[in-house]
Structure 1
Amino acid sequence: MKKIYIIHENSEWTNHLTNRLNELGLPFEEWFLDKGIVDLSETPPDGVFYNRISASSHTRDHRYAPELTESVLSWLERHDRKVLNGTRALRLEVSKVNQYMALNGAGIHTPKTIAAVGKQQIIEAAEKLGRKSFITKHNRAGKGLGVQLFHSVHALKEYVYSDTFEEPLDGTTLVQEYIESPDSSITRCEFIGGKFVYAVRVDTSEGFELCPADACRIDDLFCPADEKETSPKFRIIDDFDDEIITDYQTFLRDNQIDVAGIEFIKDSEGTLYTYDVNTNTNYNREAEEAAGTYGMMELAKLLGEELNKVNE
């Protein structure tokens, strides 16, 4: 029997989807790719394959999950299997440099960014950027990990040459202009099947490392699953309408990305900067319940529709 195959390395982020698949009575199988083998001489099973591997897999001791997944996806695509978020999507997931180049290629504005390998080169990048305030981030990170805000090159030097410096997984640090939001928020636009589902406002006043997944726990920062928080950090925007949505949909189509969350920020002059494409997007339960819309259910329905096409 043909089925839906969920490729992932984090059950906490995937259970919400498999619960919906069970609710709809859809057959599925999970491929947990933290380690494994790929026999390239064999023929893969038929069905629908959905890739949910995250750039942050290394933070869960799954260092080579993306590399293994790329092998699996290449194998599946070679045999013309239906794959959602295939090799191209994975390539963008694990590299912000690739994200920005693809976004710019689609005419989408991103913050001024310089990539650097080497500690002295990070300092040189900040000097070349020429901004009073700037941030550093890892090229391959996820969950906002490694993001730091600096207000001087001197402060950056102290950090880079200290014991607290976080070495990027791939050695590449991004030095990026700091875009200040007038209301300390960013907007995340969710797409399923390449179509816009909703936009969510995210309060960033307490820090950068904010993940919408209910399972997220990042040190002592706010997690949206914390029911004690009186002011919601995540709120779905009613009737969101912006011309950027059309640009995003074109970008997703051209880069073979089926499911994604794209984040942008606006400065005090209203200029929009797109700074992240998350192809392993998650959804906040409380925000969805308040709005009466459910991302994982829409995703499960999409997978069911694709399975029906394969079965025809």
Structure 2
Amino acid sequence: MSKIYVIHENSEWTVHLTNRLEELGLPYEEWHLSEGTLDLSQEPPEGIFYSRMSASSHTRGNRFAAEYTGQVLAWLEAHGRKVVNGSRALELEVSKVKQYLELNKHGVPTPKTVAAVGREQILKAAESFEGKPFITKHNRAGKGLGVQLFQNIESLRSYVEGPEFEEPVDGVTLIQEYIQAPESFITRCEFVGGKFVYAVRVDTSEGFELCPADACSIGDLFCPVGEEQPAEKPKFQVIEGFLDPILEKYENVLAANDIKVAGIEFIYDQDGSIYTYDINTNTNYNSDAEARAGKYGMLELAKYLEQELEKLSVKEHVTI
């Protein structure tokens, strides 16, 4: 009997999905790919394979989980298995450079960004921002890794040449235009099955690390999970009735890259223009915000996987 296989490296981020799968009575199995072996002479089992591999897996001691998952996904796809968020999704998950190229290809504005390898090259790249504020971030990131705001090259030099400098796991640092928002928030749009589900407003007044998962490490600076803010100003708020032409472009980006599940983040500038800066294919949801709005991302995801499993079951029955 076919089942749903959940590929991941972090059980704390996955339990919310498996709880929903159990709630719906769906057969599933977890594949924790922090390490393992892959026998290329064997065929994969039948089923639906959903990858939740994260760009930040290396921060949890799973240094080569993403690389290993890439091989497993290639194996599954070579055998014609149905993979949700397959190789292309993982390729974009671990590279913001590739995310921005895809967004730009579909007419989605992104902040000016320069990729640099090497400390001197980071400083050289910052010169192109001509004295304007800029931020640094890791190309392979997640959880806001390496995100810092700088007002000038002198302060960047102190950071890059000092002991606090964070070397990206892939060696690529991004220097990016700082978008000055009229208010301290960003917007995250959630998609399941390649279709828009809801948008959530995220308060950024405390900093840049904005992981929405309930199981984010409390040690993460600025992590919004843990102590909820007062009810009058929660960190996460689902936006009722959010509509914007950008959603169609986002769906086109996801379709072109065979990405079925994602959270896409953008920020408004002072003129109200939208700049998109992240596609997260290992999307998480904030339970407090969802409970207030009566919208549940993991439930929608579980239902989507159920539909895909039903399609496979019909196909198998017809073949038999």
SS at structure 2 position matched to 1:188: strand
Show the 5 A alignment for 1:113-124: 113-124=113-124
2:226 and 2:20 map into 1 onto residues whose CA distance is: 19
**Aligned counterpart for 2:289 among listed residues 281, 287, 290:** 287
Task: Name the residue aligned to 2:318.
Answer: none
What's the CA shift for 1:111? Answer: 0.2
What's the CA shift for 1:229? Answer: 4.4
Identity across the alignment (%): 64
Q: Is 2:251 the counterpart of 1:249?
A: yes
2:287 and 2:24 map into 1 onto residues whose CA distance is: 19
Task: Name the residue aligned to 2:303.
Answer: 301
Show the 5 A alignment for 1:192-271: 192-216=192-216, 217-227=218-228, 229-230=230-231, 231-271=233-273
Query: Any runs of at least 4 consecutive aligned residues in structure 1 with deviations exceeding 4 A, and if so which?
Result: none
1:145 and 1:32 map into 2 onto residues whose CA distance is: 23
2:103 and 2:229 map into 1 onto residues whose CA distance is: 38
Structure 2 letter corresponding to 1:256: D
2:131 and 2:28 map into 1 onto residues whose CA distance is: 50
What's the CA shift for 1:166? Answer: 0.5
2:222 and 2:115 map into 1 onto residues whose CA distance is: 27
1:225 and 1:192 map into 2 onto residues whose CA distance is: 26
1:123 and 1:228 map into 2 onto residues whose CA distance is: 38
Whether the 8 Å contact between 2:180 and 2:270 is mirrored in structure 1 is yes
Structure 1 203/34 Cα, relative in aligned 2: closer, same or farther at 3 Å? same
What's the CA shift for 1:225? Answer: 4.0
Whether the 8 Å contact between 1:224 and 1:234 is mirrored in structure 2 is no
RMSD: 1.0
Whether the 8 Å contact between 2:143 and 2:210 is mirrored in structure 1 is yes
Q: Which runs of 5+ in 2 are unaligned?
A: 315-320
Q: Is 2:83 the counterpart of 1:83?
A: yes
Normalising by structure 2, what TM-score?
Answer: 0.96
Task: Name the residue aligned to 2:72.
Answer: 72
Q: Is 2:136 the counterpart of 1:136?
A: yes
Structure 1 226/166 Cα, relative in aligned 2: closer, same or farther at 3 Å? same
Structure 2 letter corresponding to 1:177: E
Structure 1 letter corresponding to 2:92: L
Whether the 8 Å contact between 1:200 and 1:236 is mirrored in structure 2 is yes
Structure 2 letter corresponding to 1:80: G
Normalising by structure 1, what TM-score?
Answer: 0.98
Structure 1 274/218 Cα, relative in aligned 2: closer, same or farther at 3 Å? farther
Task: Name the residue aligned to 1:27.
Answer: 27
1:15 and 1:44 map into 2 onto residues whose CA distance is: 24
Structure 2 letter corresponding to 1:219: D
Whether the 8 Å contact between 1:224 and 1:232 is mirrored in structure 2 is no
Whether the 8 Å contact between 1:138 and 1:173 is mirrored in structure 2 is yes
Whether the 8 Å contact between 1:225 and 1:286 is mirrored in structure 2 is no
Structure 2 letter corresponding to 1:223: P
Task: Name the residue aligned to 2:189.
Answer: 189
Q: For 1:215-243, what per-residue CA distance to the aligned partner results, in whole angstroms no more than 9, with x for missing partners?
A: 11243524234246442110000100000
May I ask how many residue pairs the two structures share in their alignment? 312
1:19 and 1:248 map into 2 onto residues whose CA distance is: 29
Structure 2 letter corresponding to 1:277: I
